[in-house]
């Protein structure tokens, strides 16, 4: 059924017998009379005598008994956290001061470590070139390089011949 035609429903599909609501009260009273005629005296549930008269007093006694529980203060834990935080910051401060004497600098880094890092990161030549500024590089940096023969021979001995072909 389409939603746009819901307001046009003339017959909802539900029918009630004739005079159903007019005779409803009479039929209900007849049922009550039949129930009394059956004579159900024991429903299976039994309430103790004076249950509702003493209920309020028993509830109040239970509430008073429950309020005697021990209350745990949370302040000692909070102060312990403050003390632990201060101690940790002092230990961190001393560890930074005492261990920073032999700090890492560019001079301490090995060239091989830097090259292997750059190879692992897979930088392209254009990305590496963008890191340098033209004002920092000059032709004289490359012309006046003095390389000793010993260093050159050591380099040629350690380099693979396939690398020389590729260069």
Tens of pLDDT, residue by residue over 50-86, are 888 888 988 888 877 665 667 777 777 778 888 899 9
DSSP state of 132: S
Cα end-to-end distance, the chain, whole Å: 80
Residue 118's contacts (CB-CB under 8 Å, 6 or more residues apart) are 128
Q: pTM value?
A: 0.22
């Amino acid at each position: 059924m389409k939603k746009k035609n819901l307001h046009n429903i003339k017959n909802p599909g539900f029918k009630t017998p004739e005079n159903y609501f007019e005779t409803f009260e009479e039929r209900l009273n007849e049922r009550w009379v039949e129930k009394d005629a059956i004579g159900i005296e024991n429903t299976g549930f039994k309430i103790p005598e004076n249950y509702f008269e003493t209920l309020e007093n028993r509830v109040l006694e239970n509430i008073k008994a429950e309020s005697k529980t021990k209350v745990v203060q949370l302040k000692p834990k909070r102060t312990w956290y403050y003390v632990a935080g201060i101690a940790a910051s002092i230990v961190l401060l001393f560890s930074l001061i005492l261990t920073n004497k032999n700090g890492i600098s560019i001079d301490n880094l090995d060239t091989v470590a830097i090259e292997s890092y750059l190879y692992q990161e897979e930088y392209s030549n254009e990305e590496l070139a963008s890191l340098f500024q033209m004002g920092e590089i000059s032709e004289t940096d490359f012309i006046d390089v003095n390389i000793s023969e010993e260093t050159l021979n050591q380099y040629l001995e350690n380099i693979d011949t396939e690398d020389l072909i590729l260069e």
